[in-house]
Amino acid sequence: MPPITDPTGAPEALRAQAAELEKGLSIVTAFASGRVAPRIVEYAGRNAIDLIVLGTHGRTGVSHAVLGSVAEASSAARSAGCLQYLSQCQRRTAMRLARTTVIESILATPADVLKNAETEEQARVARILDHILPISPRRQGLVNDAAVTGALSRFPLERIQAPTLVMSVADDRFGTYDGARYTAEHIPGARFIGDPSGGHVLIGHNEEATAEIAVFLANSR
């Protein structure tokens, strides 16, 4: 909790909230005072914590929920120091506690889009989660991705001469749509395929996207 907050009743309140969670879960509560991200990172390092879930709290500046290594929190939570401590928590527990956060953060896909998807698409998303959780085996790559994408300068797209296909959807929570469209507009001869909805994993467009890629590759030989 922030250092300016009266901590008197916090430990008991935390234990009471933990007691309300689903029965059968093994829950340990901990209490700390200070700046949020450093305290969490320190605790995670001391206790071999592999998955971190942060809830929105106006006073701390955390504007979104973050699950695992997903950088949807404060700038401090995006730092490499925090990400290096994220790794192994069972998918079952994560999905019980924060299914919406898992879908919207890790898969960058609106939860309502998945909820309304066909059964086959929901099964595909479940398989994706099975493959990407836990995050820890790829944490160094994620740290590198964050460092690279945060420092990119404009590439002279107009010089690209290779056949190019760019696809994205407007509700991709990673915010790829505008960049994808811009990229296609500036690469000579590039083709852009955009859809209004589907999230980062293209829910409802998987077969279409696969077919488009197959045609693109066949024509690019």
Indicate whether 72 belongs to any domain.
yes
Same domain? For 42 and 115 the reply is: yes
Omega of the bond prior to 134 within 30 degrees of 0, cis? yes
The span from the CA of 121 to the CA of 133, in Å, is: 18
Residue range of the domain that includes 31 = 10-149
Greatest mean pLDDT among 37-51, 92-106, 148-162: 148-162
Residue 207, pLDDT score: 94
Residue 190, pLDDT score: 96
pLDDT beyond 50 at 129: yes
Q: Kindly tell me the burial class for residue 100, based on how many C-beta atoms sit within 10 Å of its own C-beta (0-12, 13-18, 19 or more).
A: middle
170-191 residue pLDDT tens: 999 988 999 999 999 999 999 9
Same domain? For 67 and 164 the reply is: no
How many domains are contained in the chain? Answer: 2
E strands of the chain, at which residues?
Answer: 53-54, 66-67, 165-169, 191-195
Q: For residue 74, count other CB atoms closer than 10 A to its CB.
A: 20
11-70 residue pLDDT tens: 777 777 677 665 666 778 887 776 666 677 677 767 766 666 655 444 433 333 333 333
Q: How far is CA 119 from CA 146, 200, 210, in A?
A: 33, 18, 19
Average pLDDT taken over every residue of the chain: 74
Tokens of residue 135, six digits:
């995050």
Indicate whether 44 belongs to any domain.
yes
Same domain? For 138 and 33 the reply is: yes
Of residues 137 and 163, more confidence is placed in: 163
Same domain? For 120 and 162 the reply is: no
Same domain? For 49 and 123 the reply is: yes
